[in-house]
Amino acid sequence: MTRRILLHIGSPKCGSTYLQQVMLKNDRLLAANGVRYPHDGSRHPGNAAEIDKLTAAQLEGFFKDDTHTVILSHEDLFAVAGRGKTLADLAGQAGIEVQVLAFLRPFSEFIFGDYSQFMKQHFDVWLKNRKPYGGRGFEQFAVDRCRNLSPVGYFKAWNRLFPEPGLILASHRDIRKVIEAQIGALEGMVWEVPRDSTNPSLRMEDCDRLAAGLADPDAPAGALREAFRQAFTLTGEPDAGKTAERRAWIEALFARQNEELLKEFGFDNRIPTS
CA 85, CA 75: separation in Å to the nearest integer?
17
Averaged pLDDT, 146-175: 96
- Model confidence band, residue 101 (pLDDT cutoffs 50, 70, 90): very high
Percentage of residues in the chain with pLDDT exceeding 70?
99
Residue 272, preceding peptide bond in cis (omega within 30° of 0): no
Arithmetic mean of pLDDT over the chain: 96
pLDDT tens per residue, range 205-259:
999 999 999 999 999 999 999 999 999 999 999 999 999 999 999 999 999 999 9
Percentage of residues in the chain with pLDDT exceeding 90?
95
Query: Coil, helix or strand for 248?
Result: helix
**Nearest C-alpha neighbor of 4 from the set 50, 83, 85, 67:** 67
pLDDT tens per residue, range 22-68:
999 999 999 999 999 999 999 999 999 999 999 999 999 999 999 99
The three state secondary structure string of 41-97 is CCCCCCCCCCHHHCCHHHHHHHCCCCCCEEEEECHHHCCCHHHHHHHHHHHHHHCCE
CA 132, CA 119: separation in Å to the nearest integer?
8
Averaged pLDDT, 7-22: 95
Q: Is the pLDDT of residue 274 over 70?
A: no
Q: Is the pLDDT of residue 7 over 90?
A: yes
Contact 9, 74 (CB under 8 A): yes
Tell me the C-alpha to C-alpha distance, in Å, between residue 206 and each of 66, 188, 197: 49, 38, 20
Averaged pLDDT, 4-23: 96
Query: Coil, helix or strand for 5?
Result: strand
Averaged pLDDT, 129-137: 97
Q: In sequence order, what E strands does the chain have?
A: 4-8, 35-36, 69-73, 97-104, 168-171
Give kind and range of the element (H or E) at residue 145. Answer: helix 138-148
Q: In this predicted structure, what is the pLDDT of residue 272?
A: 77
Q: In this predicted structure, what is the pLDDT of residue 195?
A: 86
Q: In this predicted structure, what is the pLDDT of residue 206?
A: 98
Q: In this predicted structure, what is the pLDDT of residue 197?
A: 86
Residue 42, preceding peptide bond in cis (omega within 30° of 0): no
